[in-house]
Amino acid sequence: MTDFSLNCFVLGDDSYRPFPVKTSQDKDIFNLTRDIKACYAECDTSTIAKLELYRVDISAKKEDLANIQPPPTEDMLELIKLVGDYWTTPEEVQRDRVHILVKANIIPNSALSPAVPLGGKRPRAEEDYNEFIQDFKKARVSYCERAGRLSASVAAKHDNFIQQQRGKDYMLNGRPRKHTGPPIVLYHPVFGDFLSNLQSPEFGPALENEVFKYFSDSQDLYKAEPQSSKVNAGESRDPSTRDALHTFLGKLWKVTEEGAAPDGVFIVEDGYSAVMEMQNEIGTGGSDPSIQAAQSYLRLWKKSKLFDRCCCPTILIAIAGPWMCILGAVFLKRPIVQPLTDYLWVGSNPSKPKEIRFVARVFDCVLQAQKQLKVYYTEIASQDPRSLDPSPFPYPNHFIADEGHQVDFKYLSALEPLSLDASSHLKRSKSQQITLDKLVFLAELRNIEPSTRVVIKFVESYNSEAHGLLAKEGLAPKLLYDGTAHQSRRLGPDHYMIVMEYVNGVDLGRSDDLTLPMCVGQDVERALSILHDADIVFGDLRSPNVMLVKGADDKITGAKLIDFDWCAKHLEGRYPLDLNVNDNVTWADGVRPGELMKKEHDNVMKEYLFVLRELV
C-alpha cells in the first residue's frame, strides 16, 4: 500500500512542535506506536514511554495545541487494529493538521536535561541549549575575574604558579598532568594545520636564508634584562630578537594591557593571533616563558572585544636564550595551552647541520598560522556580535556523506560528561594513574526532516572495518562518516572525526537491571564471533561499551557494541600504554599495557560482563 504521513503531537510538550510519522494503512497501531517513539527520539532531547494514541483532527498552530485537552481513555487507539481502520482515505489527510495526540511519559536524557521529572513538562531543547551557552559564557568571565588579579609576570613566578595550579583557578597546560585539556586541534583548524604543515616536505629556500641570519642574534650573549633605559641597543635580547624576527614574521607589537606587557604580539581587530614572551637565558627572569606567555594570553584576551565571540585561538612563542617553543592556546571555561613543538635549539649545530630546515619550517608554520588567524579575526570582527557565541564544542560542524554531499550538524551536548569539562579531561584512578577520557558528543543534523540525532566522536585511531562488519548485522550503530578513510579531512596529523547513528538505549555499565533478556548475551556472542572470524580482537569489552537497545515499549530488545578505537588484528595489535590497570577494572589474564591482543581475551571479558547478572 502507498505510504502517507500523519502529524503527531505529544501532550505536555511545550515546544508545541508536531512531527510527521510515515505509515501505511496495513500497519498495525502497535508498530505505529514504535515508529512514533523512534521519530520523537530523533527530533527531541527526550524520549517518551507508555504511549497512548488518540485520533484527532486539530490545528497545528501553537495557540490551539496549548489549549488541547486529553480525550477520554476509551477513545485510545487499539494496538491490534490497523492504521487503515482509523484512516480509511489517506488522500484526505491534511498536511497542516495534527492527526494523532500522544499521551506519554516524557523522559529526559540525562546528558541534556537531568532536572526534568518523569512525566513532567520539559523545557524546549533550544532553551536548554541557550541556557547552557550562557552558563558557559558566565564561567569564562568568572574565571578571568578570579585568575587575572596578579600581573602576568608575577603570576608566572614559580611559587605563585604552583599556588594557582593547586587551587580552583588552574590553567589546563598539563602542569600537573591531571590539568590537561582536550586536544586544541579540535577547537580551531589553525592548530591542526600547523602540525600538518610541520610534517610537509615542501619548503622554499628564501625563509631558510632569513632564519640562518637570525641564528646569530639567537645565539648571542646578552646582558641581564634591563631595569632601566641605560642599557644600549643591541645589549638586550628583547629588542634584538624582536627586531630580527620582524624580517620574516612581520612586526611584533609591544602592547600593555592591565596585568600584561608581553614582549611581542600579532594583533588583528582586537584579536591576538600570537603572543611572545622571552627570557634572556634559561633560568633568568624567574619564570618559564611558556607559562608567562599563557598568563599574558589570559590577561590580553579578557579585555578583548572578541572574547565573547570565539574560543580565542592564539599561537604562543616562548623564547629562553637560544631555545624556543611554540604552543597553542584556546579559551573554553579556562585557558587550554598545549605545545606544538619541543623546545628547539635556534642556532647552528655542527652535529645536525640540516636541522636549520626544520627550524625554518617551524617559523614558516608560525607565519602561516598568523595569516590564517588574521583572516579569522577580521571576519568575526565584521559580524554582528549578537550572532556569535564562544562555543564549548569542537569546530567541525559537517561531514561528507558517502554520496558526496555535505551534511551539516549542530552540537547539542556531550554524551560523555567529562568531554566538555576540560578540567577533568584526564581522569585519575586511586593509584594516581591517569587515562584520557573520550570526546563524544550528541548532535542534530541540520536541514533534514524529520530531525535526526547523531553521535560525533573524535579519535586518534579507529577500526572502521570492525565497526562496519557489526553495523551490517545490526550489532553496532550505523557508521555515517569515517574520518580515518579521508586523510585530507583529518583534524591535524593525529585526530579524526567519526559520525554514527544515535541509538535509543543505555550502556550496560549504567544499567541497574540484574536480569537481562537472553538476546543481550546472544548479540554480544554473535558480535564477537563475527569479529573473530575476521581475525579481529575487540579489545575493550567492558560494560560501558555494550549498548542495551530498547524498543518502543522501553523494553530491552538486544545489544550493540560501541567504541572500536582499540580493535586490531589478533596477535598484531597491542593494548594502549595508558590502559587502566588499577581502577577496579578486571581484565583477562594477559591484558596489560603494550601487550599483544588475543581473541581469548575477548572471550574471558565476555564472561565478566554478566557475572553479576542473570540472562533469562
H or E, element range at 500: strand 496-501
CB 134 within 8 A of CB 25: no
Write down the pLDDT at residue 304: 94
At residue 601, φ and ψ (nearest 5 deg) are: -65, -45
Report the pLDDT value the prediction gives residue 230, as an integer from 0 to 100: 53
- Grid coordinates given for 296: 599574558
Phi, psi (rounded to 5 degrees) for 548: -85, 115
Report pLDDT digits (tens) over 459-505: 999 999 999 999 999 999 999 999 999 877 889 899 999 999 998 88
User: Which domains, from first to last, does the chain contain?
Assistant: 4-121 (3.10.20), 133-386 (no CATH), 398-615 (1.10.510.10)
What are 330-357's pLDDT values in tens digits?
999 999 999 999 999 999 999 999 899 9
Mean pLDDT in residue range 585-602: 95
Provide mean pLDDT across the span 272-283: 93
Among 329-333, 389-393, 416-420, which stretch is predicted with the lowest mean pLDDT? 416-420
**pTM beyond cutoff 0.85:** no
Q: C-alpha grid cell for residue 532?
A: 573473530
Tens-place pLDDT, residues 179-199: 999 999 999 999 999 999 998
Q: How confident is the model at residue 584 (pLDDT cuts 50, 70, 90)?
A: low
More confident residue, 249 or 300: 300
Given this model, what pLDDT does residue 113 score?
33
Predicted local distance difference test score (pLDDT) of residue 19: 92
pLDDT digits (tens, 9 = 90+) for 132-150: 888 899 999 999 988 888 9
CA distances from 397 to 38, 411, 429, 442, 443 (A): 24, 8, 33, 12, 9
Q: Is 470 helix (H, G, I), strand (E, B) or coil?
A: helix
* Residue 430: half-sphere exposure toward Cβ, Cα within 13 Å: 5
Which of the listed ranges 135-139, 316-320, 424-428 does the model predict with the highest average pLDDT?
Answer: 316-320
DSSP state of 325: E
Over range 78-103, report the average pLDDT. Answer: 93
pLDDT tens-digit readout, 216-238: 989 999 887 655 445 555 567 77
CA 511, CA 525: separation in Å to the nearest integer?
A: 19
Q: Which three cell numbers stand for residue 287?
A: 619564570
State the average pLDDT for the chain.
86
Query: How many CB atoms are located within 10 Å of the residue 584 CB?
Result: 7
* pLDDT greater than 50 at residue 533: yes
